[in-house]
Structure 1
Amino acid sequence: MLKGLIPPPGPPRVLALAQLVCRTGDGAYYICSALFFTRVVGISPVKMGLGLTIAWSLALVLSVPLGHLADRRGPRVMAVVLFVCAGLAISSYLFVSSFTLFLAGACAYAVSQRGGSAAQQALLAGLAPEGRVTEIRAYVQSSYNAGLAMGSALGGVALLVDRREAYYAVFALNALAFFCAAFVLSRVPEVPPRPVAPEAAQGETSVLKDRPYVVVTALNTLLLLHIPLVDIALPLWISEHTAAPVWLLSLMFMLNTVSVVLFQVRVSRGVTGLASASRYLFVGSSLLGLGCVVFALTSVGSSAWVAGVVLLVAVAIQALGEMMQAAGAWEVSFGLAPDGKHGQYQAFFGNGTTVAEMVGPLLLTGLIVYWGAPGWILLGVLFVVVSAVMGPVVRWGERSRVVTPPAPHV
């Protein structure tokens, strides 16, 4: 099994290595950043939340223009430059002493990280062998989760030490990880930017005018509400609505992360085109919906061990659903993007994750924590209905890619 986790040699392996390196740094940073800024720097939680909202909102606005720039200038050079900028932004946290400096660093980090990720996806689309984009993307995603898991462990050590120097070490590690990832990406071949014909330059369309792709992205954003589900909704649900011990959360997080690392590549091999991607989206999202129903059952007055077992079963169902949904979404995001525009298209599609992480906590808290079991069931129904609508929209997008040849000049 371990041999199957190693990507094929060449650019796929290099792309996965770059992802592993930079996400290891990010994993440590995510664990420690909130406590550092609130307890060490002295920024209030409200101000910190406001600053992060502003930063990621700016990243949403600028990601598509940066993706378009990657298409025009070449995705490799843009990924390298933006990853270096992300490392410099993280380095600035070593000198943060006020909210203004924190906001500047957070904005620079969010914009660089989102833009760099979009350029990296465009690089993957240009370098992956024909018909294997989703498979290579699965290897990269496994590296992503493995990096976050290792980084979280390192961040946990810093939390145990709980000193300014320990947090500084985490930020230095994250900055170094981005610099190393930039160097690793510089070793892969560049994807030649697609030249724009002079007569087409004026009429070139943006992803925002591609209606099928916009609708697909919006629907996928709703499916991505499963991301803040584990981080935000489940801890509150378990502590307030079940008899299960709160420490079970760590086991559930490990189960989800390890499952993706070990099985994402194997699960993704069934996706070979847009038709199979639509099926995977429906089945995977239906499993996400089933997991929500199982979560709802844990509110019944059962013992701690019964609630714990049911919760673990629900997480296992959700993990499989997440892997299938992700594999289908990757194929759709790449398959419906025109050649030469993967930078801006992947930036736009990737914004769905940011929107889900920004809106999801408030929505899921109200839906699940305060409404209870009916909220879980409603969320499960939402996943199934949205995935059922996705199939016709994907076929609409596929039809729109068929270009009618121009009539011959007389």
Structure 2
Amino acid sequence: MGIRSLMPAPPKMRAPRAEGPAAPANRAARLLWPLTLVNTFGNGLFRVNSALFFTHVGDMTAAQFGTGLAAGGVFGVLASVPFGRAADRWGARRVLMVLWAAEAVGLLGYTQVHSFWLFLVLICPITALDRGSVVAYRALLATALPQEGVVEARAKLRALANVGVGLGAGVGGLALAVNTSTAYFAVIVVDCLTFVVAAAMLARLPIDVAAAPVATGQDRRRTGVLRDRRYVLFSAICTVLALQFGIFEVGLPLWVVRDTDAPREIVAVALVMNTALVALLQVRLSRGSEDNAGAVRVGERAGWLLALGCAVFVASRFGSAIAATVLVLGAALVMTIAEVYFAASSTTLSYNLAPDGQAGAYQGLFQSGTSIATSLAPVVMTSGVLPFPVWGWLALGGVFAVAGTSLRWIDVGTRR
């Protein structure tokens, strides 16, 4: 916000419009709301249809589809830091526009997929582009949002992203109901259009397109993200905590069906509750994570809540169908709150622990950890937790608690 005069305005005259360094950032923040909604709507639309599209229309087996996703995930991890450095060098907005445009073209190629090998050729670069665009988007927020109230602004964007994904998934359900090639092709085309529209909206952001200066020579060797032990430790801890995302996607459905007496319909209820509560609580529960010390406390709280949720899942294995239903929903509620706390804590620290001018590279490392966790989470759930119904959950909970507490080991007293 611009600095307002302390003197009263003359009678019958409008107060001057607030200007100053923060004014463009405020306008940029307002433009980011619809841009984020459009982009995440497309993500939700495609996500809910992708598995059936590739297995029914693309003539692939489920195993081939999973293998392709794993291969794409590797490329996504490898691409995160380089694309982050590109955002630092050439400007996050410019890089993000290019990545979104390229991803739109790549997605259109999916309409021609009728073999596993063509799918593999396409999904690896497309996943790399997608991970790179996430990194560039987060680097963009480092300069596009006003510093006053930045934590709340980021929380609003995360909440809006959940709304967009939910709306997209809801509309995508229509294609699932129709279950024809034409319906699935329409989903891909609409998803492509959301990238194009978002890129066009991005061009209107009133921020400086000039890239931040990039360290060279000896300075680069000193400030390289992989040499920053503090940030590497932080990213590793967040990678462990991010394993939580496999619980709702993989662990919860299998656990309810195989190990509890709760009705399987409760899975859908838990997922809807998770999406809705993340959108509703993100801003409120992000308060207190504005500075580094507060973010550490919130992150530690997330780790212990995840541990509690794991223990409640164990308890849901015993008792009647009603008791199991209540306990499963209770565990889902606790873990949803933990998810919101984790998002608030990790977002604040991921920006505050990064040096000025290197937001892209540092966000690249942070997002690499998230990508690794996303890839490992299904394996952890299916091979390390669910085969051991009691000790598997308790061990995972202990890992979450230790990881959350480990945030105390990071020296967050100063921002570099």
TM-score normalized with structure 2 length = 0.90
- Structure-2 separation of matches of 1:278 and 1:191: 33
State the Cα distance separating 1:126 from its structure 2 match: 1.0
| 2:290 match: secondary structure | coil
1:63-212 alignment, distance < 5 Å: 63-188=80-205, 189-196=207-214, 203=221, 205-212=223-230
Q: Which position in structure 1 is the counterpart of 2:247?
A: 229
**TM-superposition CA deviations, 1:202-241 (whole Å, max 9, x none):** 6463211111101110111000111011010111100010
- Deviation by residue 1:237-269 (Cα, 9 ceiling, x = unmatched): 000100011111111001010001111011112
Q: Partners of 2:222 and 2:204 in 1: how far apart? A: 31
In structure 2, give the amino acid aligned to 1:94: T
Provide the C-alpha distance between the structure 2 equivalents of 1:239 and 1:197, rounded to a whole number of angstroms.
54
The amino acid across from 1:379 in the alignment is L
Unaligned stretches of 5+ in structure 2? 1-24
Answer yes or no: is the 8 Å Cα contact 1:24–1:148 preserved in 2. yes
Residue 378 of structure 2 aligns to which amino acid in structure 1? P
Q: Which residue of 2 aligns with 1:263?
A: 281
Post-superposition CA distance 1:348-406 (Å, at most 9, x none): 1012221111111111112321100221111111111111111222x1x555x56xxxx
State the shift of 1:192 in Å: 2.9
Match of 1:294 in 2: 312
Distance 1:318 1:77, change over 3 A: same
Query: Could you tell which deviates more after superposition, 198-207 or 320-329?
Result: 198-207
Kept in 2: contact 1:80–1:185 (CA 8 A):
yes
Does structure 2 conserve the Cα–Cα contact (< 8 Å) formed by 1:131 and 1:272?
Answer: no
Partner of 2:337: 320
Deviation at 1:100, TM superposition (A): 2.6
2-structure distance, mates of 1:18, 1:297 = 43
CA RMSD of aligned residues (A): 1.7
Contact 2:72/2:127 (8 A) holds in 1 = yes
Instruction: Give secondary structure in 2 for the equivalent of 1:224.
Output: helix
What is the aligned partner in structure 2 of residue 4 from structure 1? none
Write the distance in 2 (CA, Å) between the matches of 1:176 and 1:62.
24
Q: Which moved more, 1:275-284 or 1:189-198?
A: 189-198
Q: 1:408: which partner in 2?
A: none
User: Does the Cα contact within 8 Å between 1:133 and 1:331 map onto a contact in 2?
Assistant: no
CA distance in 2, matches of 1:225, 1:177: 29
Alpha-carbon contact 1:237-1:369 (below 8 Å) kept: yes
The answer as to whether partners of 1:123 and 1:191 remain within 8 angstroms in 2 is no
Equivalent AA in structure 2 for residue 215 of structure 1 = L
- 1:405 aligns with none
Q: 1:343 to 1:197 in 2, by over 3 A?
A: closer
Q: What is residue 244 of structure 1 aligned with on the other side?
A: 262
Deviates more, 1:76-85 or 1:49-58: 49-58
Report the AA paired with residue 238 of structure 2.
N
Mapped to 1, the partners of 2:215 and 2:350 lie a distance apart of: 25
Question: Contact 2:101/2:195 (CA < 8 Å) preserved in 1?
Answer: yes
Secondary structure of the structure 1 residue equivalent to 2:223: coil
Distance 1:197 1:64, change over 3 A: closer
- The CA distance in 2 between the partners of 1:286 and 1:192, in whole Å, is 42
Alpha-carbon distance in 1 for matches of 2:228, 2:376: 24
Q: Identity rate of aligned residues, in percent?
A: 35
Distance 1:211 1:146, change over 3 A: same
Offset from partner CA, 1:281-337 (integer Å, 9 cap, x none): 01122111111111110011x221221111111111111111111101111100001
Unpaired stretches in structure 1, ≥5 consecutive residues: 1-7, 403-410
Provide the C-alpha distance between the structure 2 equivalents of 1:280 and 1:20, rounded to a whole number of angstroms: 27
Secondary structure of residue in 2 paired with 1:243: coil
CA distance in 2, matches of 1:331, 1:105: 34
Paired with 1:378 and 1:35, the residues of 2 have a C-alpha distance of 34
Secondary structure of 2:386's aligned partner: helix
Alignment partners' CA distance in 2, 1:304 and 1:177 = 43
- CA distance in 2: counterparts of 1:274 and 1:214, whole angstroms: 16
Query: Is residue 43 of structure 1 aligned with residue 65 of structure 2?
Result: no
Q: Displacement, 1:98?
A: 2.1
Partner of 1:217: 235
